[in-house]
Amino acid sequence: MSDTTARRPRRAATPDGGAAKPQPKGQQTKAAIVDAALGLATQIGLEGLSIGALAEVMQMSKSGVFAHFGSREELQISVVREYHTRFEDEVFYPAMDAARGLPRLRALFDNWMKRTSVEIDSGCIYISGAVEFDDRPGPVRDALASSVSTWQEALRRAIEIAAEEGHLSADTDASQVAFEIHGLILALHYEARFLRSPGCIDRAWRGFGAILERNGAHQPASRKS
């Protein structure tokens, strides 16, 4: 995710804007397995994934599923990558249609909140994965950390651009603002999924508005319909 790569074609279309060519059957099967694995992982976590469980869901043999990945670890990494791709497609790239600066930053948060509102019920791989792999070095943790770091860097850059455009104070600490915004999302998941607290989505929006105002935005963020 970066300002220079923001205009990449979406997966559903070819570079000339036409419909994408059908994938070979093997790739279609692998994509279907990853999709099913992602659905399971949001419910039971990445650690809960197994070749056997997926084979049952897909009505395939274990050897058939194994042939597409080679190991449970590679399956988990494929799920992390697919989650990240969908996150980009739903949160990051649509926001690039907004004007640079504060409009784009608000669009990023709005898209993130829309996704979070759904994940309150389904679960977030970034959050659950961090709990599962925070103290477990290895390729799965590396894939998770890389994906989250990429998103945080994109958010931080959007904040920097807002300051460069004069929409936030020139002395805005982009890393601090990104930290606080990320904290709102983490708090929202905890309050909504674990404590079932009413009104927490509105509180997250008010928190975002307060962060912007504290850093020189002239208008508070308002929740979009």
Cα angle value 92/110/8 (rounded, 5°): 15
Q: What is the pLDDT of residues 181-199, one digit of tens each?
A: 999 999 999 999 999 999 9
In the chain, % helix, strand, coil (3-state, to 5) comes to 70, 0, 30
- Specify the pLDDT at position 39: 93
Q: What is the pLDDT of residues 127-159, one digit of tens each?
A: 999 999 999 999 999 999 999 999 999 999 999
Name the amino acid, one letter, at 201: I
Q: Which residues of 41-62 are buried (b: 16+ CB within 10 A; e: fewer)?
A: bbeebbbebbbebbbeebebee
Neighbours of 109 (CB within 10 A): 26
pTM summary value: 0.85
- Specify the pLDDT at position 27: 85
- Specify the pLDDT at position 4: 41
Q: What is the pLDDT of residues 66-81, one digit of tens each?
A: 899 989 999 999 999 9
In the three-class reduction of DSSP (H, G, I as helix; E, B as strand; rest coil), residue 19 is classed as strand
